[in-house]
Structure 1
Amino acid sequence: MAQECLQEKASLLQTQQQHQKTGSTAKLIRKLKAAAKKKSEITRRAFLKLGNQLVDRSIPLQMLPSKILPKTQLSKLRKNLVVPADDIVTNKGYEKVVRQKDPVAVKSSTDSTVDEEISHTTSDVSGLSNDTEDPDHVIDALDGDSELAIVEYVDDIYNFYKLGEKCGRPRKYMDFQFEIKEEMRSTLADRLIDEFHCYELIPETLYLTFYIVDQYLSREEVMETDLMLVGVGAMLIASKYEDPLPLGIEDCIDITHGAFSKEQILSKEKAILETLEWNITVPTQYVFLAYFLKAAMSDKEMEDMVLFFSELGLMPYSLITYLPSLVAASAVYAARCTLKKTPRWTEMLVEYTGYSEQQLLECARELVSLHSSAAEGKLMAVYETYSDAEFGAVALYPPATELLQSKKSASS
């Protein structure tokens, strides 16, 4: 009896020691995670000073460096400005659009209904509106004294981005991808966006991932079974290139639920880089989003709405041939329409984006259409993310169906 009692006590002591060990391990894990988080915050804080403002969503996106120019100076510059023709990529191919010295909406003879609507909303930009535009407003007033903001070079940087985005655009690759269909790409996009939010990567990583995926599929035929491998390989590359805390190889294996080995993922990573000739320094949609949102004088609600439309725009294959700057500007336009901002497109936005309202309608309508059907679709990553209170539940706002109705009335 005494021996049994001793054995029971010994067993109880061993159990307690195991619990203590487990508790210590859990505490250690929590400490390591807290230390990693603190290190991440310190690292990313340094990146914030260089422009990665969206790492901390409490910091408004419009705080990103742009150019210091009051509107009064803009009007003076336009008088002496000679602007060459811009190439705008649409689903119909290349379209030459000549920007006038004082940009105005380009009228279309085939869309009189929309013309009247645009002329009504933009005929007097300087009038009363929800967005009060102080003529002496300085967009970069907060960054003027910061050497890291390099505001004196912002014009040159974005001119370079505008030139760079026209080079190496992905072509429509479904014609020679025999096993991959448009729906499969959308499914992959939904999965990548979901994992992006799950791992809390920075936005630059997401948009570069999609650039890499589409570029690779434009150049190499891929089997259906390898599509997810291409996606996770692209995200691994993008996170290494952009993120202060990139994905690890074990994270990539988890993303694929163990469908691919470490060797397969690393091999695909190398193959992708070789196919793209190691050229992944490109202007993605995100750099234009930051710039345009600042010109729109956006608040947190506007920022969340624009990001919602922008991520919706990553889903369909039909939007891959649009220039990143055009999609970014269309996301801002669609957001302003959804939030009932008047006028829909301001003189300052025309100046900063380089696009008139008419030029954005086609792409903006596609984005609004995606919003209209998002709640009933099978691919819910973007919709569920932006239905959360953290992002202002902007996905739950009524879509700007008046844009779609104006298109129907114009075609009838």
Structure 2
Amino acid sequence: MASTRPIVQQNRGEAGADVGGVKQKKVVGEGRNRRALGDIGNLVPQVNRPITRSFCAQLLANAQAAATENSKKQMAIPAEGVLAGKGGKEAALPLPPKPAHQKKVAVKPKPEAVIVISSSETEQVKREKPNRKKAIEASSSKKKGQTLTSTLTARSKAVCGLNNKPMAQIVNIDAADATNELAAVEYVEDMYKFYKEAESESHVYDYMDFQPEINQKMRAILVDWLIEVHHKFELSPETLYLTVNIVDRYLASTMATRRELQLLGISAMLLASKYEEIWAPEVNDFVCISDRAYSHQQVLVMEKKVLGGLEWNLTVPTPYVFLVRFIKASLPNEPDVNNMTFFLAELGMMNYATVMYCPSMVAASAVYGARCTLNKTPRWNDTLKLHTGFSEARLLDCAKLLVGFHSTAAENKLRVIYRKYSNPERGAVALLPPAKSLLPAANN
């Protein structure tokens, strides 16, 4: 090559050669140094020099020799080095001679090794996975079974005799109203929780001892007449229950005369109608239905007096609020159960003896008495217990009282409720025999 040509000539030149008429001694030294570098270059191939076919053949021979040494355990003949020829060119070396007594042995991987690496280990891992899962589940269940809490729970169930008791079947009574926005399914539980807390604030206790001119019989006559007026005006059930609640709360806070009792009933129904009805009756309607015993002005004055005595608080949970919910929990929803429940509830509302019970208990007892009267099985279930908050044992006293009113309704002089529920439109439930299991004679 043109670049290396002068260097080769310098290496071969003698010391003291003239270059342009001047002897260069240092050139000789440089030539020796380059000769030494050239020898080193013969041992270590330069980076820019390509690998020739002979060198590849030498590498292949070395690989075959190493394979033969491993297989036959014989010493391989080492290959000679690569010498540089003149002008820096490589000289091709012949391949090492093959021994005559040795046969060419093809080195192949053992099939056993392939099977062990690829298949057996994966199969072993696959087989171990379910076994490990079973072992973990067994150990976890064993640990759970050995906890102190589970042991104490099992002992308490055994003592109470609950081991053989089937699991509670609680029905979601709001599932059918999931798409009904008016049902307020998302808030209904919170609403009735609030009603349960608020009913104690508006609960009326025994007040007859503080009324000198009014007794229980007068109150029953007034309620019986109000139910008839309510039926003639075709008002909603909420209005009737709120009317009786207003009367009781006013009498519990203020003394009233005998002459004002009917006026109190008219004013209470007027207030309840304004609160519950879309089209409430007018004052003149109540004056006319009372046979003009009171004037228009007297009704307005009593209305204002009642609102002052109640501190304008008309938002209270009445028995009707709980009746709607508890009847819904009494599955299946049958018309005869609904009519019998309202029949017993109105009998209890007319009689003063039920004032001592809170509205939710009166409603739950009416549902329980209706199921007993109609021979519904079971009489009380876990769904009713959950939504009412009362067990069967707690409802027995109030339910017996309501069924007792049913047994004497046909002979009572106040027959408005009896006639109302003797109508076939209401299932004629008043004509059915009362529940014998809840009558006092059956318990003696």
1:407 is displaced (CA, Å) by 6.8
1:361 is displaced (CA, Å) by 0.6
Q: Does 1:172 align with 2:217?
A: no
Contact 2:400 2:440 in 1 (8 A): no
Q: Secondary structure at the match of 1:320?
A: helix
Give the alignment partner of residue 252 of structure 2, picking from 194, 214, 218.
218
Contact 2:221 2:414 in 1 (8 A): yes
Give the alignment partner of residue 233 of structure 2, picking from 193, 199, 224.
199
Alpha-carbon distance in 1 for matches of 2:219, 2:442: 27
Matches within 5 A, 1:211-250: 211-250=245-284
Contact 2:403 2:434 in 1 (8 A): yes
Q: Give the aligned residue type for 2:363.
A: A
Contact 1:125 1:343 in 2 (8 A): no
Q: Give the aligned residue type for 1:299.
A: E
Which residue of structure 1 aligns with residue 133 of structure 2?
none
Give the alignment partner of residue 364 of structure 2, picking from 329, 338, 341.
329
Give the alignment partner of residue 317 of structure 1, picking from 337, 347, 352.
352
Alpha-carbon distance in 2 for matches of 1:156, 1:202: 25
Which residue of structure 2 aligns with residue 341 of structure 1?
376
Contact 1:368 1:399 in 2 (8 A): yes
Alpha-carbon distance in 2 for matches of 1:332, 1:253: 36
Q: Which runs of 4+ in 1 moved over 6 A?
A: 123-126
Q: Does 1:151 align with 2:164?
A: no
Matches within 5 A, 1:225-374: 225-297=259-331, 298-374=333-409
1:243 is displaced (CA, Å) by 1.0
Matches within 5 A, 1:176-187: 176-187=210-221
Alpha-carbon distance in 2 for matches of 1:125, 1:245: 51
Matches within 5 A, 1:80-95: none
| Residues 124 and 255 of structure 1: CA distance in aligned 2, closer, same or farther (over 3 Å) | farther
| Residues 378 and 125 of structure 1: CA distance in aligned 2, closer, same or farther (over 3 Å) | farther
Q: Secondary structure at the match of 1:313?
A: helix
Which residue of structure 1 aligns with residue 81 of structure 2?
none
Deviations 1:98-137 (A, max 9, x none): xxxxxxxxxxxxxxxxxxxxx9xxx9788xxxxxx9x585
Contact 1:345 1:357 in 2 (8 A): yes
Deviations 1:4-63 (A, max 9, x none): xxxxxxxxxxxxxxxxxxxxxxxxxxxxxxxxxxxxxxxxxxxxxxxxxxxxxxxxxxxx
Q: Secondary structure at the match of 1:180?
A: coil
Q: Give the aligned residue type for 1:384.
A: R
Alpha-carbon distance in 2 for matches of 1:150, 1:136: 20
Contact 1:125 1:347 in 2 (8 A): no
1:142 is displaced (CA, Å) by 2.7
- What number of residue pairs does the alignment pair up? 281
Q: Secondary structure at the match of 2:407?
A: helix
Q: Secondary structure at the match of 1:145?
A: coil
Percentage of matched positions with identical amino acids: 49
Deviations 1:60-115 (A, max 9, x none): xxxxxxxxxxxxxxxxxxxxxxxxxxxxxxxxxxxxxxxxxxxxxxxxxxxxxxxx
Q: Secondary structure at the match of 1:375?
A: coil
Alpha-carbon distance in 2 for matches of 1:223, 1:274: 18
Which residue of structure 1 aligns with residue 3 of structure 2?
none
1:140 is displaced (CA, Å) by 2.0
CA RMSD of aligned residues (A): 1.9
1:146 is displaced (CA, Å) by 2.4
Contact 2:220 2:351 in 1 (8 A): yes
Alpha-carbon distance in 1 for matches of 2:416, 2:359: 21
Q: Secondary structure at the match of 1:151?
A: coil
Q: Give the aligned residue type for 1:176.
A: F
Q: Give the aligned residue type for 1:244.
A: I
Q: Give the aligned residue type for 2:203.
A: R
| Residues 136 and 307 of structure 1: CA distance in aligned 2, closer, same or farther (over 3 Å) | closer
Contact 2:171 2:383 in 1 (8 A): no
Q: Secondary structure at the match of 2:406?
A: helix
Q: Give the aligned residue type for 2:339.
A: D
The more displaced of 386-395 and 162-171 is 162-171
> TM-score, length-normalised on structure 2?
0.61
Which residue of structure 1 aligns with residue 194 of structure 2?
160
Q: Secondary structure at the match of 2:399?
A: helix
| Residues 371 and 201 of structure 1: CA distance in aligned 2, closer, same or farther (over 3 Å) | same
Q: Does 1:400 align with 2:403?
A: no
Q: Give the aligned residue type for 2:260.
A: D
Alpha-carbon distance in 1 for matches of 2:204, 2:442: 28
| Residues 385 and 124 of structure 1: CA distance in aligned 2, closer, same or farther (over 3 Å) | farther
Alpha-carbon distance in 2 for matches of 1:266, 1:289: 32
Larger radius of gyration: 2
Q: Give the aligned residue type for 2:325.
A: Y
Q: Secondary structure at the match of 1:206?
A: helix
> TM-score, length-normalised on structure 1?
0.66
Q: Secondary structure at the match of 1:283?
A: coil
Deviations 1:261-303 (A, max 9, x none): 1100111011000110000101111110000001002211111
Alpha-carbon distance in 1 for matches of 2:359, 2:165: 29
1:405 is displaced (CA, Å) by 3.9
Which residue of structure 2 aligns with residue 376 of structure 1?
411
Alpha-carbon distance in 2 for matches of 1:137, 1:274: 44
Alpha-carbon distance in 1 for matches of 2:179, 2:229: 38
Unpaired stretches in structure 2, ≥5 consecutive residues: 1-160
Alpha-carbon distance in 2 for matches of 1:321, 1:208: 17
Deviations 1:289-347 (A, max 9, x none): 00000100221111111010111111111111211000000000000010011111111
Unpaired stretches in structure 1, ≥5 consecutive residues: 1-118, 127-132
Contact 1:334 1:368 in 2 (8 A): yes
1:171 is displaced (CA, Å) by 2.5
